[in-house]
Amino acid sequence: MTAPRPQRRVFIKSYGCQMNVYDSERMADVLAPLGYALSESPDTADLVVLNTCHIREKATEKVYSELGRIKAIKRERAAAGERMIIAVAGCVAQAEGAEIMRRQPAVDFVVGPQSYHRLPELIARAHRGVDELLAADFTPHEKFDALPSARGATGVTAFLSVQEGCDKFCTFCVVPYTRGAEYSRPSDAIEAEARTLTRGGVREITLLGQNVNAYQNDRGGGLAALIRRLAAIPGLARIRYTTSHPRDMDDALIAAHGEVSALMPYLHLPVQSGSDRILRAMNRGHTAESYLRLIERVRAARPDIALSGDFIVGFPGEREADFAATLALIREVSYAGAFSFKYSRRPGTPAAAMASRVDEAEKDERLVRLQALLEDQRRAFNAATVGRSAPVLFEKRGRHPGQIIGRSPYLQAVHCAGPDSLIGQIESIAITAASHNSLAGERRVMETA
């Protein structure tokens, strides 16, 4: 009889965007056949993977401080005669490469987002103590072809990566350099993955891409054609997609919002600024006016659609009048939710060389004003749902006994008393209260005894 293979443990920590969350799950899939089970903490892990984000300076620095902590654990484990491998993945890996190992020699290898299928080989080489452990090329098709395609579903909702990379070159952004050119996954592979997920109990899929609406369908059509195809999968009740660029919102996608009932009425469409002067300096390829007209067209197709966005304050050269234009645009659109950031200078991007930097105190002050307005809008949006009912897809148990939690079509968390059997189901729930970041609801039809 052969002894069972000793269980190894991997701790994977994701930073940044949902694409990294998806990639971390795929890394876990690649590692499972090697005997790696997921660990909740680095303390007991044989392999630690930090899946990093490079988008703003703060995100990058977080990784180095985490590496300092993990290095201390590695040292303790080594004193006990145990080997721990530390890997850095994601966009910092892609952007900084071998520099990471120079800055933190406890790191065993560095693997960029297109090379996760090479993890088994990189781990084996790290165990053998081979030098030069850097895998950071730009071949997304190889990545998608080589990663295992059938995944076990783990919940009611799932991410599905359909597109990677960006050709837009906004002057502030590192993504075109860390994730490479736009690449769309073949639609058959996407459909197969969606079917596997749905068979495993997934009811809602969020299609992911750095520029997801730039998706080019190999069977013709863009993202709209893909969404229509996926909407036909039995059991798949909800489809979302993120993140989009205003330039790629084509007529077919707008029409799909009005016609495909599984496509949720919530659209994340970043505008970044409301000032045409700043939008031009950002190389966004749209104006405030063209963005507003686009929103009008989307709302004409789907009147109940809710909008979300990303905003940057303090881009080089941003004056009070530019910032006021951003506030005016926000008032005109009215967002259900949004992300907002202070401009962070990223070496190597065109904006990093731009003069007239806005000072930190000014950025802080603008961010506070911007976030106060966005917060008011979010609160008003949530409050408007009280007294109405919403179809809620239940995802999990809540913290209190007998409580379950789901989401409305607008991504609002809804808490409600109900049986576990509702998890995975959609039920119309009466919304009774709105708190800071969730809604409380009641079932209208109580179960009969």
What is the spatial distance between Cα 200 and Cα 152, in angstroms, rounded to a whole number? 7
Q: Which two tokens stand for residue 399?
A: 């913290």
* Concatenated DSSP letters of 300-335: HH-TT-EEEEEEEE--TT--HHHHHHHHHHHHHH--
What is the spatial distance between Cα 223 and Cα 205, in angstroms, rounded to a whole number? 14
In the complex with ligand SF4, which residue's Cβ is closer, 166 or 197? 166
In the complex with ligand 5AD, which residue's Cβ is closer, 171 or 217? 171
x-or-dash string of contact with ligand 5AD, 38-77, rule CB under 6 A: -----------------xx---------------------
In the complex with ligand SF4, which residue's Cβ is closer, 114 or 412? 114
Q: Please give the residue ranges that form the binding site for ligand SF4 (CB under 6 A).
A: 166, 168-170, 173, 175-176, 210-211, 245
210 binds, among ligand SF4, ligand 5AD, none (CB under 5 to 8 A by kind): ligand SF4
Count of residues binding ligand 5AD (CB under 6 A)?
Answer: 12
**What is the smallest separation between the CB atom of 17 and ligand 5AD, expressed in angstroms?**
7
User: Of these, 87, 110, 295, 312, which contacts ligand 5AD (CB under 6 A)?
Assistant: 312
In the complex with ligand SF4, which residue's Cβ is closer, 58 or 127? 58
What is the spatial distance between Cα 21 and Cα 322, in angstroms, rounded to a whole number? 34
440 beta partners = 415, 433
Single-letter code of the amino acid located at 307: L
87 binds, among ligand SF4, ligand 5AD, none (CB under 5 to 8 A by kind): none
In the complex with ligand 5AD, which residue's Cβ is closer, 278 or 422? 278
Helices (H) and strands (E) in the chain, counts: 14, 19
Q: Is 210 in the site for ligand 5AD (CB under 6 A)?
A: no
Q: Is 273 exposed, middle or buried (0-12, 13-18, 19+ CB in 10 A)?
A: buried
CA angle 205, 213, 20 (to 5 degrees): 55
Q: How many residues does the chain have?
A: 449
Q: Is 362 in the site for ligand 5AD (CB under 6 A)?
A: no
In the complex with ligand SF4, which residue's Cβ is closer, 42 or 209? 209
**What is the smallest separation between the CB atom of 338 and ligand SF4, expressed in angstroms?**
14
